[in-house]
Chain A
Amino acid sequence: MAIKKFAVAAYDDEDVLFPAVSKVRHSGYKIHDIYTPFAVHGLDEAMGLKTTDLHIAGFIYGLCGTSTAVGFISWIYTSDWPINYGGKPHFALPAWVPITFELTVLFAAVGMTLTMCYLNQIMPGVKKHVFHPRQSDDMFVMAIELNSHTSEEAALAFLRSTGAKEVNVQVAESGWWYGRWDKKEPYEALNPG
């Protein structure tokens, strides 16, 4: 991806974060992202993010599971290798309900989880920039993208005025890459601390 410059603000309370988000958005700064230690409900709306369509994907995966089970079993029992079990019908739909149900659930669950990993870009071996070592602990961290036209000082002063406990400027890789978490990346030498 690209190495960019960010103004970073760390808040220690989600109740301070919410007003800060709306102030930042109104003032025209571009929020790169907000990192929180747990799911803060309503934050996505406050940031203007769309709701996710992941559940629709899950529904489609589920349908694939249903049709795989019914299609496969009915093909086997009516055409590939019909077996006569005591004169019972070959097309015995009620007896297939359990397996059909299980495959529906299996496909939906596995498909959705993999899709979530793909969309969230998470996988073993993936590395991303951590703006604040306590963003997974007790800090709510907002990163604002800076460009050549924005003044660093003004941005930091503004973030401080929104109630941030810590502010700084960092250079960071904005996307993900493969890497080891115990190794420092070369660009990190440019950052404070």
Chain B
Amino acid sequence: MHLKYESFVREPLVDNSKDYHQVSEDIVSPIERKPGRMWYVGFIFSLILLGFGIFSVSWSVYWGLGTWGVNRTVGWGWDITNFVWWIGIGHAGTLISAILLLFRQGWRTGVNRAAEAMTIFAVMCAGQFPIWHMGRVWDGFWVLPLPNSRGPLWPNFDSPLLWDVFAISTYFTVSLLFWYSGLVPDFALIRDRAKTKFRKMAYGVASFGWTGTAKNWQRMEALALVLAGLSTPLVLSVHTIVSFDFATSVIPGWHTTIFPPYFVAGAVFSGFAMVNTLLVITRRILGLEEYITIGHLEAMNKVIVLTGSIVGVAYLTELFISWYSQSWGEMAAFQWRIMGPYWWSYWAMMTCNVVSPQLFWVKKLRRNIPFTFVMSIVVNIGMWFERFVIIVTSTYRDWIPGSWSYYSPTWPEVGFYLGTFGLFFTCYFLFAKYCPVIAIAEIKFVLKTSGENYKKKMEAIDAMDTQEFIDSVHSHHDEAHHEVAAH
């Protein structure tokens, strides 16, 4: 029998004594209970936000984009800022599920399901902005390469904006497949436990009739590994392509080669922050503190301090290069960013993204839950300002001083943004009610190596010195040999 051993240096991924059945019980029982009052309050509040968003968007479509604050000089305002912000948030899920799977990071099992769900909802929110930004949204299908009666006239395949269409729709599809294929066995568990007729029927359909045969698991694992391998470059490509929307133009402040890695780091930064925001609350309300441990939150805080520092280096590099270029336009753009009429957005970005995450070098703060929660929100405010700074403060003073302008959003733009929060949280509340927020089958898979009670059993082995251990293993072997010899 092979030895399952993991060093004590790694803290347990599942606290307290759990067996397989207890894991199912802990994670599925919130789905089988009636939701608490907090859930209803949150859900209804999200629906109200969503309703306001729908109203704002309808208003913008009916009256046209003249209702927005964007103008000839600042063509992209809150809409594209929010688009980049949401799509950035939508990077954490696939990073956690794909890249950490390839790196064999066991701690991902506690958080990947919720993070992937968050990714999918964030991408749905992000997708709204370019669509409604089109103005004449009924012509939106023109971005698709469909045969048509206009020539046929095709979209511009050389344009980063069209690359974005492909990147984001592919990313959404692949994330959805990855997420749902993981959910199938867990739905089968809920189905097999179900006491009510409706639940048995609904989860029977949702589980695709999964029964968990050895061959089925083998193929499922093969699929998960290849999807992880495909999603890893995919997740990097998506924000790279988003950054091309800016970097391939000739506007000072946008025209830089640093954008792709800088955008990807920023995306991971904000995505992990959003995962922390959601999980700190989810683990508390659903009582999953033993599965999403402080160790998990600390691991994510470590990623936040790393990516926050990368983003900080990128900001400083941009400043240096604008001076080093000795190009008047470049230098002016950055001078205005720092000291112009939008100085407050630049400094909000610098404080939230570069200065405050550095506090996470302190271990006590990394493991402090209220602090983690506050920081996760600060980081996302900072990342929103980053996109605002890039988009608005690069365009509001263009090449002709006569057309310099100032941009502030109008209520439909703000309402649209609030509406995407409504969409996001409506989806998340439904997810938390009807889906297992932790990948049950994957937790069971790591339970015997990383569960606290199983790790304790290894203390006896840990106490032995090396020679003693080798002898004990050999004596086992010898016994086996003797048996064979006796036969």
Contacts and interface: CB of A to CB of B under 8 A. Distances in A.
Interface string A171-188: 000001000111000000
Nearest to B181: A113
A106 B170 CA distance: 6
A33 B215 CA distance: 8
B206 A124 contact: yes
Contact of A99 (B166, B220, B233, B445): B166
Contacts of B192: 130, 133-137
Contacts of A182: 197-198, 200-201, 204
A96 B156 CA distance: 10
Which one of A77, A81, A106 has the highest number of Cβ atoms from chain B below 10 Å of its Cβ?
A106
Which one of B173, B217, B241 has the highest number of Cβ atoms from chain A below 10 Å of its Cβ?
B217
A40 interface: yes
Interface in B143-168: 145, 151-154, 156-158, 160, 162-163, 166-167
Interface stretch (B49-57, B222-230, B372-380): B222-230
Which one of A18, A123, A126, A133 has the highest number of Cβ atoms from chain B below 10 Å of its Cβ?
A126
Nearest to A136: B189
A189 to B, nearest CB: 18
Nearest to A135: B212
B186 to A, nearest CB: 9
A191 interface: no
B444 interface: yes
A44 B215 contact: yes
Nearest to B157: A73
A109 B175 CA distance: 10
A157 interface: no
Interface stretch (A22-30, A49-57, A147-155): A49-57
Contact of A36 (B193, B200, B206, B217): B217
A67 to B, nearest CB: 15
A81 B230 contact: no
A127 to B, nearest CB: 5
B431 interface: no
Interface in A113-143: 113, 116-117, 119-130, 133-138
A102 B170 contact: yes
B151 to A, nearest CB: 6
A98 interface: yes
A9 interface: no
B214 A112 contact: no
Interface residues of A, number: 68
Contacts of B158: 85, 88, 92, 95-96
Contact of A81 (B151, B197, B212, B217): B151
B226 A34 contact: no
B20 interface: yes
B174 A126 contact: no
A113 B220 CA distance: 9
Contact of B157 (A15, A77, A176): A77
Nearest to A74: B157
Given A135-B211, A135-B212, A37 B157 contact: no
Interface string B177-214: 11001001100110111000110110111101111111
A134 B233 CA distance: 38
Contacts of B213: 33-35
B177 A36 contact: no
A37 B208 CA distance: 15
B226 A54 contact: yes
A95 B227 CA distance: 25
Interface string B231-261: 1011001000100100000000000000000
Given A80-B154, A136-B189, 5 more contacts: A85-B158, A101-B233, A106-B173, A128-B209, A181-B204
24 contacts: A15-B1, A18-B1, A34-B213, A35-B212, A35-B213, A52-B222, A54-B223, A55-B222, A55-B226, A58-B226, A80-B152, A85-B158, A88-B158, A101-B233, A102-B166, A112-B227, A113-B223, A120-B210, A120-B216, A123-B208, A128-B209, A136-B189, A136-B211, A182-B201
